[in-house]
Amino acid sequence: MRRAIAVWIGLLCCTVAPATGQRVAPAPAEWTRGAVCYEIFVRSFQDSDGDGIGDLRGLISRLDYINDGDPRTTTDLGARCLWLMPVAASPSYHGYDVADYYTVEPDYGTNEDFKQLVAEAHRRGIRVLVDMVLNHASSEHPYFQAALRDTASPYRRWFRFSPTKPAETGPWGQEVWHKSPLRDEYYYGIFWHAMPDLDYATPAVREEAKRIARFWLREMGVDGFRLDAIPYLMEEEGRLAHTPGTHAFLREYAASVRAESPDAYTVGEVWDSVGSMLPYYPDQLDSHFAFEASDAILRAVRERSAAGLLAPFLRLQRELPGNRYAPFLRNHDQTRTVTALQGDTAGARVAAALLLTLPGLPFIYYGEELGMTGDKPDERLRTPMHWRRRPGVGFTTGRAWRPLQPDSLTANVEALEGDPRSLLNFYRRLVHLRASNAALATGTLVPLRTSARAVAAYLRREGDTSVLVIANLGARAATDVRLDGDAHTLPAGRYAPTLLEGAATDLSTIVVRNDGRLRTMPMRRLPASSVQIVMLTALP
Supply the residues annotated as catalytic.
Answer: 228, 269
Q: In the chain, how long is the greatest CA-to-CA distance? A: 82
Q: How far apart are CA 153 and CA 146, in angstroms?
A: 7
**Strand stretches in 369-508, DSSP E:** 444-450, 455-462, 465-472, 478-481, 483-484, 493-501
Q: Which of 449, 447, 472 lies closest to 461, judged by CA? A: 447
CA 444 vs CA 29, 289, 303, 318, 322: distances in Å: 18, 19, 26, 10, 9
Q: What is the DSSP string of 199-223?
A: -TTSHHHHHHHHHHHHHHHHTS---
- Whether 539 and 496 have beta carbons less than 8 Å apart is answered as yes
- Whether 205 and 198 have beta carbons less than 8 Å apart is answered as yes
CA 402 vs CA 33, 52, 185, 253, 438: distances in Å: 37, 8, 37, 36, 42
Show contacts of 260-264: CB within 8 Å, 24+ apart.
260/213, 260/214, 260/217, 260/218, 261/217, 261/218, 261/223, 261/224, 263/29, 263/223, 264/217, 264/222, 264/223, 264/224, 264/225
Beta carbons within 8 Å of 374's beta carbon, 6+ residues apart: 335, 336, 339, 367, 380, 381, 382, 383, 405
Side chain identity at residue 276, one-letter code = S
* Residues making up the chain, counted from first to last: 540
Q: How far apart are CA 61 and CA 480, in angstroms?
A: 50
Q: Which of 342, 366, 329 lies closest to 85, judged by CA? A: 366
- Whether 469 and 505 have beta carbons less than 8 Å apart is answered as no
Provide the β-strand partners of residue 37: 81, 363
Taking phi over 0 as left and psi of -120 to 50 as alpha, with beta for the rest, 357 belongs to: alpha
Q: How far apart are CA 108 and CA 47, in angstroms?
A: 9
